Structure 1
Amino acid sequence: MPLISFVRATLAIILFALALPSAAQIVIGQIAAFSGPLAPTGTHMRAGAQLYFDAINAEGGIHGARIRLLSKDDGYKSEETVRLAREMLKESQPLAFIGFVGTGNVEAILDQKILSEAGIPLVAVRTGTESLVRRNDPFLFMTRASYAEEIEKITDQYITTGYTRFAILYQDDAFGQGVLQSAEQAIKNAGGTLAAKGAYAKNTTEVGAAVKIIAAANPQAVILIANTAASAEFLKQSREAGNLAQYVALSTTDAAQIVQRIGAEKAEGLALTQVVPDPNSQTVPLIREIQNNFAKFKPRDVTLNHTFVEGYLGAMVLGEALRRAGPNPTRKKLRDTLEALKSYDAGGVFISFSPKRHAGSRFVDITILNRAGKLLR
C-alpha cells in the first residue's frame, strides 16, 4: 500500500475510534445549588438522578448509549444558573437538562430564552410555582405537583379539622411571593383567616422579624413557604418564643435536615407536604426499585430522602422519553416525545404531559414528624 494511502486509512480508523465514545454516550446537564443553604437539595436531586443513570448504564444504557450526568454549582444564584447553562451548552452540548433548583433560577432560564434558543428540554425542576405551571413553556417539563396543589391540600385538611386562623412565613422572592398569593386565596376560599405573614430574604435564615410578627398574631397554624435552613431557624425561634401553633411546611423543606439542625424535640409535630411517596415505603414499586438500586450502587454522602426520590423520578421520566425517542435522538425529538408522554406509570406515580400542560404530576401527601424525628403519615 502506498504510504499516503496507508496514512489516510490509519487516520480514518483513528477518527472513527475517537467518534465512538460520543456516539455511544448521551450527555445530560444539571445546573443547581451544591453550595449555600440549598446545597443539600441540589446534592440529593443530583444523587437521585445519578442513581437511576447508574442502574441504566449497568444494563447497557438506552439503545446502547450510556448516560453521562454533568453538574455545575450555581449557589442558588439566578445569574449563575444562566451563565453556567450557556457555558455547558457551548462546551458539552447536552441533549437535555435536568434537576435545576429554585423558582427564580428556572424563571431566569426561561426569561433569557436559554431553552428555546437551544431547543433543549429541561425536566424535573425543584420548583412547583403556579406561575411556571401557567406559563407552560414548551421546553420545561415538571414532574412534581404544583405549590398551589400543596397549599390546597394543607388548607383543605386543616380547615376540615377546625383550624381557621393561619399565618404564613414566606421567602421574599418569586418563589415565596407566588406561593403566598396561592395560599392567601386558598385560605379565603376555604373560609379561613390570614392572621399574619412574615418574610425573610432569599439565601438567608434571617427570620427573627417574621417570628415576632407571627407570634404576636397567635395563629392556630403556620404555613412555611421556605427552604430547609430558613424553616429550621424559624421553627427553632418560634418554639423558643412559646408559639404553640401547628406548623406545616411545603415540600421545599426536608424533614431529616430539620431534625439534624434543631433536634427531634423542637422538630416534633412539624407537618410537611410531600410530592413523592415515602422513601421508606415497602409497597410502592418506585420506592422498592430505588431502595434496591441504593443498596446495589451505594451512593455516598446522601440519604434516601424525598428529594433523592424526586431526582430519581425525574431521571426515570427522562429515561422513558429517551427510550421512546429511539436511537440517536435529537433535542427536538426528545422534547416532542416528552410532550406526548401520557399516563406513564413510574412505579405507582403517574406522569402525564400534553401540549396544554407540562406539569406532569398531581401527587401530594402530608406527613408529620414524631418525637423520635421520624416521619409518619
Structure 2
Amino acid sequence: MTGTPRTLRALMLSLAVSAMSLPALAADIVIGQVAPFTGTLAPTGKGVNLGIQAYFGRINAAGGIRGSKLKLVTRDDGYKVKETLVQTSDLIDKEAPVALVGLVGTGNVAAVLKEGLLEKAGIPLVGVRSGAMILREPVPTHIFHTRASYAAEVDTIVRQMQSMGLKRIAVLHQDDPFGEDGLVAAKKALAASGMDLVAVGAYKKGTTEVEEAIKSIHATDPNGIILVSNTAASSAFVKGMREAGSFAMMIAVSVTAGPQVAEKIGSKMAHGLGIVQVVPKPESQAITISRDLSEDLQRIGAKEAPDHTILEGYLMAKVLVEGIRRAGESTRPRILAALNELGTFDAGGVTIRYGSASHDGSSYTDISILDRNGRLLR
C-alpha cells in the first residue's frame, strides 16, 4: 500500500511527458470570400466558390499546408456594393482570415479599394471576377489578379470581328464601372482597327432592363455587337435582338456564361453567340488544371460539371495556395510578400506572373461559340 502513491505519481509524470511530446494540432488557415450567393449573379458567386472549395479539398486531403487545413469562410453581398463593404469588413474583423479570394464585381471591389479595407487590414486578395483597368492601374498593392483584363478581352473580340469582315459595330454595356471600362476599351480598339462604332446601349446594374438598348442598337443595323454584360443581361439582350430580326454576330466578355444563356433563352436562340474565355477548356483531359478540377469535383461529391466559372475559382485558389506555401508562415505580411515575389508560376495550363510592376497575373484569352445544342465550341 505504501508504494501506491509513488506509483501513481510516476504514472502521472509519464503521462504528462507523453502529452508534451505529442505534436500540437495545427490551427486552420482561414481564407475569406465575399461574393454574390443570391441575386442576379448568384450562379457566378456559387461557381467561383465551388472551384475554390474543390482545390482546397485537394490540399486538405493531402494533409494541408505545413499540417494546417484550409478553411473557407464566406459572406453573401448579393452583388450590392454597400453589402460588399459591410460583409468584407465584418468577415475580416470576426473571422481573421489571412487572405481573401474570389470577390466578384468591378464596382464592388473598386469600393473596397476606395475604402482602404485591404490596406488597413494588410490582407492580400487573390482573384477578382473582373478585368477592369481601375483595379489594375496603378498597381494595387493588395490585389493579385488571375484573369486577363477587359481591354485584352475586347481586343480579342475586335480582332475576331475584323477577321470576319465585320465593320459596323455596336456595344451593349452595364451602366457602371465594369461596363464603362469595356466601352472605353471597345472605342479604342475599334478606332485602331478602322471599324465603325455605330451605336451604344446601356442597362442598369443588377437588372435585365435592356429594352431601350435593343431599340437603339437594332435601329442602326450593326453586323457585330460587343456585349460587356453579365449572363442575365446578355441572355435578355440576345433574345430581344433575335426576336427583333437581327442577324448580327454577338460576342460577350467572359463574365457571361454561355451555357447558362442557352438554358435561359433556349439553345436555338443562343446559337452562334460568342464568349471570350479567360481560362482553358474546363472539360479537357489534356490540360492539367482542367483534369485536376474534374478529379477534385468528384472527390468532394459535387453534382456540377466543370465550367469556366468553376475553373476560374479553382485557379484563384491554386495561386493563393502557392503564395501561402512560399510564405513559410501563414500570416498576412508573409503571404503578401510571397505573392509579390511569385514571378512566373505555371498553374497547369495557365501562366501567372506577379512582380512589383504588375499584378495582372494572366493574359490568357480565347473565344468559344455556342452550338445548336447550347455547348461551347472552340
Please tell me the TM-score bracket, short chain as reference: over 0.9
Which letter maps to 2:312?
Answer: E
Give secondary structure in 1 for the equivalent of 2:326: helix
Give a deviation string over 1:31-71, Cα, whole Å, max 9, x none.
00011100000000000000000111011101111000011
Look up the match of 1:226: 229
Look up the match of 2:309: 307
Change (3 A) 1:264 1:78: same
Matches within 5 A, 1:258-297: 258-297=261-300
CA distance in structure 2 between the aligned counterparts of 1:209 and 1:203, rounded to whole angstroms: 16
CA distance in structure 2 between the aligned counterparts of 1:157 and 1:234, rounded to whole angstroms: 21
Matches within 5 A, 1:67-78: 67-78=70-81
Matches within 5 A, 1:162-177: 162-177=165-180
CA distance in structure 2 between the aligned counterparts of 1:31 and 1:230, rounded to whole angstroms: 22
Larger Rg: 2
CA distance in structure 2 between the aligned counterparts of 1:180 and 1:128, rounded to whole angstroms: 13
Instruction: State whether residues 190 and 197 of structure 2, in contact with CA within 8 Å, keep that contact through their aligned partners in structure 1.
Output: yes
Give secondary structure in 1 for the equivalent of 2:216: helix
Which letter maps to 1:339?
Answer: N
1:189 to 188, 192, 209: 192
Give a deviation string over 1:4-48, Cα, whole Å, max 9, x none.
xxxxx9xx99xx9xxx66x42100000000111000000000000
Look up the match of 2:376: 375
Give a deviation string over 1:251-294, Cα, whole Å, max 9, x none.
00001110110010000000000000011212111111111112
Give secondary structure in 1 for the equivalent of 2:330: coil
Look up the match of 2:335: 334
CA distance in structure 1 between the aligned counterparts of 2:298 and 2:101, rounded to whole angstroms: 24
Q: CA deviation at 1:207?
A: 0.2
Look up the match of 1:117: 120
Q: CA deviation at 1:373?
A: 0.9
Q: Which runs of 5+ in 1 are unaligned?
A: 2-8
Q: CA deviation at 1:296?
A: 2.2
Look up the match of 1:362: 363
1:96 to 89, 99, 104: 99
Instruction: State whether residues 28 and 96 of structure 1, in contact with CA within 8 Å, keep that contact through their aligned partners in structure 2.
Output: yes
Aligned length: 361
CA distance in structure 2 between the aligned counterparts of 1:333 and 1:81, rounded to whole angstroms: 26
Look up the match of 2:211: 208
CA distance in structure 1 between the aligned counterparts of 2:315 and 2:323, rounded to whole angstroms: 13
Name segments (4+ residues, structure 1) moved above 6 Å: none
Which letter maps to 2:317?
Answer: A
Look up the match of 2:130: 127
Which letter maps to 1:321?
Answer: G
TM-score (ref. length: structure 1): 0.93
Give secondary structure in 1 for the equivalent of 2:129: coil
Which letter maps to 2:313?
Answer: G
CA distance in structure 1 between the aligned counterparts of 2:377 and 2:88, rounded to whole angstroms: 38
1:138 to 126, 138, 141: 141
Query: Which 10-residue stretch deviates more, 218-227 or 157-166?
Result: 157-166
Q: Which runs of 5+ in 2 are unaligned?
A: 6-12
Instruction: State whether residues 324 and 330 of structure 2, in contact with CA within 8 Å, keep that contact through their aligned partners in structure 1.
Output: yes
TM-score (ref. length: structure 2): 0.93
1:249 to 245, 248, 252: 252
Look up the match of 1:320: 322
